[in-house]
A and B are shown apart, each in its own frame.
Chain A
Amino acid sequence: MRTTRQREIEPTLEAGIWRRRHILDLDDFTREELELVLETADAMKEVLSRDIKKVPTLRGKTVVTLFYEPSTRTRVSFEQAAKNLSADVINLGASGSSVEKGESLIDTVRTLQALGADAIVMRHYHAGAPYLVARHIDVSVINGGDGCHAHPSQGLLDLYTIREHLGTVSGAKVVIIGDITHSRVARSNIWGLSKMGAKVVLTAPPTLLPLGLGAPHFPKIIIEQNVDHAVEGADVIMPLRLQLERQKRGLLPSIREYVQLYQLDARRLAKAKPNALVLHPGPMNEGVEITPEVAHGAQSVIEEQVANGVAVRMALLYLLLGGAQ
Chain B
Amino acid sequence: MTALLIVGGRIIDPSQGVDAVGDLLIADGRIVQVGRVNKALPYEGYSVVHAKGMIVAPGFIDLHCHLREPGFEDKETIATGTRAAARGGFTTICSMPNTEPPIDTRATVEFIQKKAAAEGVVRVLPIGCITKGRRGQEMVEMGELAEAGVVALSDDGNPVTDPRLMRYALEYSRLFDLVLIDHCEDLSLSESGVMNEGWVSTRLGLKGIPASAEEVAVARDIALAEMTRGRLHIAHVSTAGSVALIRSAKERGVAVTAEVTPHHLTLTQERVIGRGWDSTKAAPLPLSCYDTNAKVNPPLRTARDVEALITGLKEGVIDAIATDHAPHTDVDKICEFGIAAFGISGLETALGSLLTLVHRGEMDLSTLISKLTIEPAKILRKSEIGTLKIGASADVTIFDPSAEWTVDPSAFASKGKNTPLAGQTLKGRAMATIVAGELVYKDELTKVEIKEGSV
Question: Once bound together, how far apart are the Cα atoms of A141 and B336, in whole Å?
Answer: 15
Interface: A132 (CB within 8 A): yes
* Known contacts A126-B339, A211-B201, A131 near B282 by CB under 8 Å: no
Contact call B337/A128, Cβ cutoff below 8 A: yes
* Known contacts A28-B285, A132-B290, A217-B203, A127 near B337 by CB under 8 Å: yes
Contact call A210/B280, Cβ cutoff below 8 A: no
Q: From residue A127, how far is it (CB to closest CB) to chain B in Å? A: 4
Among A27, A105, A147, A219, contact of B206 (Cβ-Cβ < 8 Å): A147
Q: Which residue of B lies closest to A124 (CB)?
A: B336
Task: Give residues 176-222 of A contacting B (CB, 8 Å).
Answer: 181, 184, 187, 210-213, 216-219
Contact call B285/A25, Cβ cutoff below 8 A: yes
Contact call A211/B287, Cβ cutoff below 8 A: no
Contact call B198/A27, Cβ cutoff below 8 A: no
User: For the complex, would chain A's binding face be called helix, strand, loop or mixed by DSSP majority?
Assistant: loop
Task: Give residues 164-216 of B contacting A (CB, 8 Å).
Answer: 197-208
Contact call B205/A150, Cβ cutoff below 8 A: yes
Interface: B361 (CB within 8 A): no
Contact call A127/B282, Cβ cutoff below 8 A: no
Q: Please name all residues of chain B whose beta carbon is closer than 8 Å to the beta carbon of A125 when the two chains form the complex.
A: 338
Contact call B335/A28, Cβ cutoff below 8 A: no
0/1 string, B281-296, CB within 8 A of A gives 1: 1101101111000000
Among A104, A146, A187, A216, contact of B282 (Cβ-Cβ < 8 Å): A216
Question: Once bound together, how far apart are the Cα atoms of A184 and B203, in whole Å?
Answer: 10
Q: Which residue of A lies closest to B208 (CB)?
A: A211
Among A28, A127, A213, A216, contact of B204 (Cβ-Cβ < 8 Å): A127
Contact call A219/B284, Cβ cutoff below 8 A: no
Interface: A316 (CB within 8 A): no
Contact call B201/A210, Cβ cutoff below 8 A: yes
Interface: B334 (CB within 8 A): yes
* Known contacts A28-B285, A217-B279, A211 near B205 by CB under 8 Å: no
Task: Give residues 100-159 of A contacting B (CB, 8 Å).
Answer: 104-106, 124-129, 131-132, 134-135, 146-150
Q: Please name all residues of chain A whose beta carbon is closer than 8 Å to the beta carbon of B339 when the two chains form the complex.
A: 126
0/1 string, A25-56, CB within 8 A of B gives 1: 10110000000000000000000000000000
Q: Please name all residues of chain B whose beta carbon is closer than 8 Å to the beta carbon of A217 when the two chains form the complex.
A: 199, 202-203, 279, 282
Contact call B337/A210, Cβ cutoff below 8 A: no
Among B198, B281, B287, B338, contact of A127 (Cβ-Cβ < 8 Å): B338
Q: Please name all residues of chain A whose beta carbon is closer than 8 Å to the beta carbon of B336 when the two chains form the complex.
A: 105, 124, 126, 128-129, 132
Question: Once bound together, how far apart are the Cα atoms of A149 and B201, in whole Å?
Answer: 9
Q: Which residue of A lies closest to B194 (CB)?
A: A127
Contact call A106/B335, Cβ cutoff below 8 A: yes
Q: From residue B315, how far is it (CB to closest CB) to chain A in Å? A: 29
Question: Once bound together, how far apart are the Cα atoms of A61 and B177, in whole Å?
Answer: 71
Question: Once bound together, how far apart are the Cα atoms of A158 and B265, in whole Å?
Answer: 43
Contact call A127/B205, Cβ cutoff below 8 A: yes
Contact call B199/A211, Cβ cutoff below 8 A: yes
Q: Please name all residues of chain B whose beta carbon is closer than 8 Å to the beta carbon of A128 when the two chains form the complex.
A: 204-206, 289-290, 336-338
Q: Please name all residues of chain A whose beta carbon is closer than 8 Å to the beta carbon of B282 when the two chains form the complex.
A: 27, 216-219
Question: Once bound together, how far apart are the Cα atoms of A312 and B285, in whole Å?
Answer: 23
Question: Once bound together, how far apart are the Cα atoms of A273 and B449, in whole Å?
Answer: 87
Contact call B289/A212, Cβ cutoff below 8 A: no
0/1 string, B89-119, CB within 8 A of A gives 1: 0000000000000000000000000000000
Q: Please name all residues of chain B whose beta carbon is closer than 8 Å to the beta carbon of A187 when the two chains form the complex.
A: 203, 205
Q: Which residue of A lies closest to B272 (CB)?
A: A128
Which of A24, A211, A213 counts the most B-chain CB atoms under 10 A from its CB? A211
Q: Please name all residues of chain A whose beta carbon is closer than 8 Å to the beta carbon of B203 when the two chains form the complex.
A: 187, 212, 217-218
Q: Please name all residues of chain A whose beta carbon is closer than 8 Å to the beta carbon of B279 when the two chains form the complex.
A: 216-217
Contact call B202/A211, Cβ cutoff below 8 A: yes
Which of B204, B208, B280, B289 counts the most A-chain CB atoms under 10 A from its CB? B204
Contact call A127/B206, Cβ cutoff below 8 A: yes
Contact call A212/B284, Cβ cutoff below 8 A: no
Q: From residue B420, how far is it (CB to closest CB) to chain A in Å? A: 15
Among A211, A218, A219, contact of B198 (Cβ-Cβ < 8 Å): A211
0/1 string, B307-339, CB within 8 A of A gives 1: 000000000000000000000000100111111
Which of B206, B287, B289 counts the most A-chain CB atoms under 10 A from its CB? B287
Q: Please name all residues of chain A whose beta carbon is closer than 8 Å to the beta carbon of B334 when the two chains form the complex.
A: 106
Q: From residue B212, how far is it (CB to closest CB) to chain A in Å? A: 12
* Known contacts A105-B335, A131-B290, A134-B287, A212 near B205 by CB under 8 Å: no
Task: Give residues 1-37 of A contacting B (CB, 8 Å).
Answer: 22, 24-25, 27-28
Contact call B285/A146, Cβ cutoff below 8 A: no
Question: Once bound together, how far apart are the Cα atoms of A125 and B290, in whole Å?
Answer: 14
Among A148, A213, A218, contact of B205 (Cβ-Cβ < 8 Å): A148
Q: From residue B331, how far is it (CB to closest CB) to chain A in Å? A: 8
Q: From residue A199, how far is it (CB to closest CB) to chain B in Å? A: 16
Contact call B287/A135, Cβ cutoff below 8 A: yes
Question: Once bound together, how far apart are the Cα atoms of A105 and B200, in whole Å?
Answer: 24
Task: Give residues 239-287 of B contacting A (CB, 8 Å).
Answer: 279-282, 284-285, 287
Q: Please name all residues of chain B whose beta carbon is closer than 8 Å to the beta carbon of A150 when the two chains form the complex.
A: 205
Q: Please name all residues of chain A whose beta carbon is closer than 8 Å to the beta carbon of B331 when the two chains form the complex.
A: 104
Q: Which residue of A lies closest to B199 (CB)?
A: A212
Q: Please name all residues of chain A whose beta carbon is closer than 8 Å to the beta carbon of B287 when the two chains form the complex.
A: 22, 24, 131, 134-135
Q: Please name all residues of chain B whose beta carbon is closer than 8 Å to the beta carbon of A131 when the two chains form the complex.
A: 285, 287-290
9 residue pairs from A and B, CB less than 8 Å apart: A28-B284, A128-B206, A128-B290, A135-B288, A148-B205, A148-B207, A149-B204, A211-B198, A217-B279
The 10 lowest CB-CB distance pairs between A and B, nearest first, are: A212-B199, A149-B205, A28-B284, A128-B290, A148-B205, A126-B336, A210-B202, A127-B205, A126-B338, A27-B284
8 new A-B pairs (CB below 8 Å) besides A104-B331, A218-B203? A28-B284, A127-B206, A128-B205, A129-B336, A146-B205, A181-B202, A211-B208, A218-B282
